[in-house]
Amino acid sequence: MSDPLRIGIAGLGTVGAGVIRILQQHADLIAQRAGRRIDVVAVSARSKGKDRGVDLSAYDWVEAAPDLALRDDLDVVVELIGGEDGDAKALLEAALGKGIAAVSANKALLAHHGCALAAKAEQAGVPLMYEAAVAGGIPIIKSLREGFAANDIKAVYGILNGTCNYILTTMRETGRSFADVLKEAQDMGYAEADPTFDVEGIDTAHKLCLLSALAFGVKPDFEKLATCGISTITATDISNAQELGYRIKLLGISKILDGKIIQMVEPCLVPEHSTMGAVEDAFNAVFVEGDFVDTGLAVGRGAGAGPTASAVVADLIDIARGHTGVPVFGVPVDSLADAQWGDPGDMVSRFYMSMIVKDEPGVLAEISAIMRDHDISMEAVQQKARDPQNPVPIVIISHEARQAAIAAAIESVAALDSCVEKPVLMRIESF
């Protein structure tokens, strides 16, 4: 058996502790599979004294994470600090610069600085691995870089944020409001104290950036990504969708349209009885379409100590086995193209619209005329009168239409005197 793979871990939150737990608990199994032992040599985190439920006594303690890269006894640094800058970035730059392999779970850092870091890794001839950065329980980075490498990829999309999916699932099951369910999720530790990254779709956008780069051979480009989260989704939208046979999911979508990439993060309606519709709670799902493999879908836990740590250790086993010849984003950095972004307005799909209008004669005729004027034909219109004295909700499902036309139509509807609230517009995605 070869020499052990010597690693240093920076960041000992739930994922870092999980990595150590796997490496300790499965030391022999991993050695058998990898052909060598994986030994933790040094660790670094903010607070030394904290009880993390794992025995750290055998490892050197390093105060400042970037100092791990100064050591001469490490083959790999594992970056589990998080954040798109600061110590995480400093550590990876220093390690790769020195020719130490790196494993990271940091989607924000990679979405913003992935290209520069990949160049450093390539120059040093060492791997930069990040399976844990996207949907920990689903080996989607490996699938895109290796499993589907024979394909021209046409589309990659999915449910990439477990917190949002948990909130949407609970809202549907209980009929409660977004704010109410978010509060509970925070109390239970499922959502962060500042939930912005999750619920506004930013975390999904970071992950989608990496998937786009891998799928289409382009530089990760976070700036060009239109993002809409779930904080404005109402219990009414969810029950409307359910009555029509759909569930609302926050999707990250990246697909090729007329040779350009359309990339967006937004809540969509998906058929409740589809495989994607059946993905509930904190589960993630990623859908891939390739020219030869056709369509594939993978479902697994997106977050949590176990699944994320499992992905980190899989990367370490790859490195231990000498599996280090895969370019960071699937092709060498100098082959990564600047993405040509298409206009989401060109996307054609069916849409869900809901609006609250005054219950006056002719309102439905006005709305229908607006749809007709924008060349949008309607599959279903539901007027749900609850109380003749009050405004009434109208739900419309369109046939396939260009997003730009739908957006223009909904703006005209919003401008009607009879429209009393901002209408809601969501794409229907079928799988």
Residue ranges in contact with a second copy by CB under 8 A = 18, 22, 26, 29-30, 32-35, 131, 136-139, 142-143, 146-152, 217, 272-275, 277-279, 290-301, 304, 306-307, 309-314, 316-318, 321-323, 325-327, 330-332, 335
Closest approach, Cβ 7 to a second copy, in A, equals 13
Closest approach, Cβ 148 to a second copy, in A, equals 7
Q: Which residue number, 107 or 142, has a Cβ lying nearer to a second copy?
A: 142
Q: Which residue number, 286 or 419, has a Cβ lying nearer to a second copy?
A: 286
**Residues in contact with 427: Cβ distance below 8 Å, sequence separation at least 6, in sequence order:** 266, 268, 269, 347, 349, 350, 351, 352, 403
Closest approach, Cβ 299 to a second copy, in A, equals 4
Q: b or e along 384-416 (b: 16 or more beta carbons within 10 Å of the residue's beta carbon)?
A: eeeeeeebbbbbbbbeebbbebbebbbebbeeb
Closest approach, Cβ 293 to a second copy, in A, equals 4
Closest approach, Cβ 22 to a second copy, in A, equals 5
Q: Which residue number, 90 or 317, has a Cβ lying nearer to a second copy?
A: 317
Catalytic residue (choose from 89, 207, 249, 255): 207
Closest approach, Cβ 16 to a second copy, in A, equals 14
Q: Which residue number, 25 or 239, has a Cβ lying nearer to a second copy?
A: 25
Tell me if residue 249 is catalytic: no
Closest approach, Cβ 153 to a second copy, in A, equals 10
Q: Which residue number, 71 or 323, has a Cβ lying nearer to a second copy?
A: 323
Q: Which residue number, 328 or 371, has a Cβ lying nearer to a second copy?
A: 328
Taking CA atoms, 53 is separated from 19, 42, 357, in Å, by 12, 17, 57
Q: Which residue number, 341 or 431, has a Cβ lying nearer to a second copy?
A: 431
Residues known to be catalytic? 207
